[in-house]
Structure 1
Amino acid sequence: MVRIHVTGRSQLKDVHGAYIVVANHSSHLDAPLILGAMPSRLSRYLAAAAAADYFFDVWWRKGLTALFFNAFPVDRSAASRSNGLTGKLLHHGVPLLVFPEGTRSKDGTIAPFKAGAAALCIKYGIPCLPLAIIGASEAMPRGRNWPVPGRPPVEVAFGEPLIAADGETVDQFNKRIERTVRELHVSHQPKPPISLIDPDLQNDPGTPGTTQTPTEGAA
């Protein structure tokens, strides 16, 4: 199992109706991690956008994807058809999970966001729920079908829901969404271990565990 640490979930308390969850994408763990991190009242009807050419290419994968992740196919080569389907879902009040990078990152870094989610939020007057996933690419990187043994916890960090401002263009709103996700991703990176030894004592010959250079202590 993958250990999950969730932050910012309290910011979702006033969210209801249709909305679009937007997140960075680096692992096949991302969708189940998000579904597990969200309050059940919000995740229950959340529909995840999944690449039609990968998750819906054979009958068994299509069935499992739709069953466990409530996923719908997105044709990455025909955006207009995909937008028609997502629009129908939003029109009927179904919230969506979208990975605007379009594909999984190979190294955990975040690629530029495509503007589809921002455009849908503006068109339907609905909020965007930005979040960042930290550590999923290390837990189960591309090329693996099962999480790495001994992996560290994965963090899911929710940001404040975003609404397009009056007069804000799709490009401007998309950049604001991307900036928010990037800031969440950076601010929730694991902190390096803290040294318990005072740096001023590192070269003190009387401090246990320190060493002297050959010239130290020479007359």
Structure 2
Amino acid sequence: MTTRLQTDLDARSERQDVRLDRYTSKPMAMARYVAQRVLLAGVVRGVTRVQVFGRNELTSLRGAFVVVANHTSHLDAPLVFTTLPRRLARYLAAGAAADYFFDVAWRRGLTTLFFNAFPIHRGGMERRSSEARALLGRGVPLLVFPEGTRGSAGRMGQFKAGAAALAARADVPCVPVAIIGADIAHPRGSKWPKSGRPPVAVVYGRPVFAASGESPAQYMRRVRGEVQRLHDENQYRVLVGRRPSVHQAQEKRP
């Protein structure tokens, strides 16, 4: 009985390893490179004018990390995957709803190819957390939109603390990322981005580690504050085309 139980456990462990192998597979990484940097980037740059700021903040980043970004548009994930430095984006994995993106073979294949996606089981918090923890433990960085859904235009929602808890437990940093203009370029409810290649930007911030004794909620508030700061400091020059003057900046303050 014990032998059979051990055999079953070994088989399950082996299946788990095989299932996770695709996240760090070199052939899959090469296929994603073509899909992301040629096909996806071509589409994104064909429909928007993309600016990228702050990549110099990531030069010392090594190993696993959690990208934490605001979420306003279907363009958000493609913008991150096509602008993050290649050495960091190579194995980056994004969570995707299991009951939609993994329900049929063709959609599962495309989601896996373009976004190295792992399934998020809605309502199954423990299962979702264990999937993400396993990937971080293997050195796979994650992309998370902690608002949980696309926010309303011009307003950043509350960030759920789950990503901060994952990062703190794995002792890896959160990388704050502000996405600007995607909600204007591809508004919620529209099937395709607006014509005229509207401006969008991705702003990368310095990696943020959890402080000693800090709760996940406190940690996430700090990360959200960084995302908000990056967004506010750069949105004017992205959407208007120049930095605000001192007088204009003072007028914007509440």
Q: Name the counterpart of 1:94.
A: 140
Q: 2:206 aligns with which of 145, 155, 160?
A: 160
Name the stretch that deviates more: 64-73 or 185-194.
Answer: 185-194
Greater per-residue helix proportion: 2
Partner of 1:206 in structure 2?
none
2:129 matches 1:83: yes
Which region of structure 1 is more displaced relative to structure 2, 11-20 or 179-188? 179-188
1:178-209 deviation digits (Å, cap 9, x = unpaired): 11111111111124589xxxxxxxxxxxxxxx
Q: Hey, what's the Cα distance between the residues in 2 that align with 1:166 and 1:36?
A: 34
| Contact persistence 1:134–1:155 (CA under 8 A) | yes
* Aligned: 1:136 with 2:179: no
Normalising by structure 1, we get a TM-score of 0.84
In the alignment, the residues of structure 1 paired with residue 59 and residue 225 of structure 2 have an alpha-carbon distance, to the nearest angstrom, of: 23
Q: Deviations over 1:144-178 (max 9, x none)?
A: 23211014211100111101111111111011011
- Secondary structure of 1:33 counterpart: helix
Partner of 2:94: 48
2:150 equivalent to 1:104: yes
> Cα–Cα, structure 1 residues 101 and 193, in superposed 2: closer, same or farther, change >3 Å?
closer
Alpha-carbon displacement from aligned partner over 1:50-71 (angstroms, at most 9, x marks no partner): 2223323333222211111111
Per the alignment, in what secondary structure is the counterpart of residue 183 of structure 2?
Answer: helix
Give the superposition deviation at 1:76.
2.7
Q: For the Cα contact (< 8 Å) 1:138–1:151, is it kept in 2? A: no
1:5 aligned partner: 51
Counterpart Cα distance in 2 of 1:137 and 1:65: 22
The within-5 A match list for 1:109-128 is 109-128=155-174
Structure 1 segments, 4+ long, off by >4 Å, are 191-194
**How many positions carry a matched residue from both structures?**
194
| 2:235 alignment partner, SS class | coil
Asked if residue 59 in structure 1 is aligned to residue 102 in structure 2, the reply is: no
Q: Cα distance 1:87–1:5, how it changes in 2: closer, same or farther (>3 A)?
A: same
SS in 2 for 1:90: helix
- Distance in 2 of aligned mates of 1:91 and 1:193: 42
What percentage of aligned pairs have identical amino acids? Answer: 54
Deviation at 1:108, TM superposition (A): 4.1
2:56 aligned partner, one-letter code: S
Aligned to 1:215: none
Deviation at 1:16, TM superposition (A): 0.9
- Greater Rg over alpha carbons, structure: 1
Q: Which runs of 5+ in 1 are unaligned?
A: 195-219
2:42 aligns to what? none
Which of residues 148, 153, 162 in structure 1 aligns to 2:194?
Answer: 148
* Cα distance in structure 2, aligned partners of 1:52 and 1:18: 23
